[in-house]
Amino acid sequence: MASNKCAESSLVVIKVIRLCHVNNLKSILEDSNIDVKVIYLMRDPRGVLSSRLRVQEGTSRMTLQGVVKMCDRNLENVKFARGQPDWLRNKYKIIRYEDICQFPLKFAENIYKFVGLGMTSTMKRWIYANTKGSLRNMGDIRGFKVFKTLIRKEKKALKRIPRVQQSDEHVKRKALKQAILHDPYTTTRNSSATWRQWIAKLNFNEISSVQAKCSDVMNELRYLPVNEKQFTERTPPFIRTLCSKFNFNLC
């Protein structure tokens, strides 16, 4: 049923978790019968490690090994993309997760423009709700259902308890709201804060290991290493502006 539905659509979007090498796409991108655009999303490996440690079983060392493999793969693809072979030109974009988090609407508009589409006001409202951590306008269906169930249960509970105790229930409700927003399996986030949370989630040894093993790709993508003093102060410049012919220009 899903295949038939996709076949009826004029636009098909495929999310690929791992792309070993851009060159594997050559036969597809050279096919004149297929109109394909590729967006390669890169992320600070320190943020990747922090995210994976939240949801994956296993030791920190095992998770770090997986992140290092990702760094090696991303480095090869970044260097390859800089050459921009003819079959890749105007069909491939590399963007950073952190840029999207800081400028969600601007980058969404650039992405839609890149693939030849326009944006509606409904799309813009959805993006705002999902990147500002807005529970009232939550676009994440899973999170929205949890939130609605929470409100319904709270209303019933408040009717059964004395008014003097209701303030405690409101405190609990606020805590539950935050739990929904920080559920790793929902997509609603305050994106302007989420992208740099790794510095509070990882210890300095973990950060140092990532920076040492992923230094080449971090340098290519202009992610800045932090030293122990910056880590303690929690206010280092994590990232520089990335301006190149294969990235959306924010300079």
Assess if residue 145 is contained within a domain.
yes
Assess if residue 54 is contained within a domain.
yes
Whether residues 38 and 148 fall in one domain: no
Domain that holds residue 62: 10-131+191-251
Contacts of 106-113 spanning 24+ positions with Cβ under 8 A: 106/250, 107/248, 110/248, 111/39
Answer yes or no: are the C-beta atoms of 53 and 209 closer than 8 Å: no
pTM as predicted: 0.74
Please state, in angstroms and rounded to a whole number, the distance separating the CA atoms of residues 180 and 187. 10
Assess if residue 4 is contained within a domain.
no
Please state, in angstroms and rounded to a whole number, the distance separating the CA atoms of residues 221 and 223. 6
Give the pLDDT of residue 214: 97
Segment 43-61 shows an average pLDDT of 83
Segment 200-220 shows an average pLDDT of 94
Total count of domains within the chain: 2
Q: What is the mean pLDDT of the chain?
A: 79
User: Of 183, 231, 74, which Cα lies nearest the Cα of 66?
Assistant: 74
Assess if residue 5 is contained within a domain.
no
Please state, in angstroms and rounded to a whole number, the distance separating the CA atoms of residues 117 and 81. 24
Whether residues 31 and 101 fall in one domain: yes
92 or 138: whose pLDDT is higher? 92
Whether residues 92 and 151 fall in one domain: no
Give the pLDDT of residue 69: 93
What are 24-33's pLDDT values in tens digits? 889 999 998 8
Whether residues 148 and 42 fall in one domain: no
Whether residues 37 and 95 fall in one domain: yes
| Angle, in degrees to the nearest 10, between helices 121-131 and 104-114 | 140
Whether residues 124 and 208 fall in one domain: yes
Whether residues 98 and 212 fall in one domain: yes
Strand 38-42 versus strand 92-96 pairing type: parallel
User: Of 212, 175, 216, 198, which Cα lies nearest the Cα of 78?
Assistant: 216
Give the pLDDT of residue 218: 95
Segment 82-93 shows an average pLDDT of 85
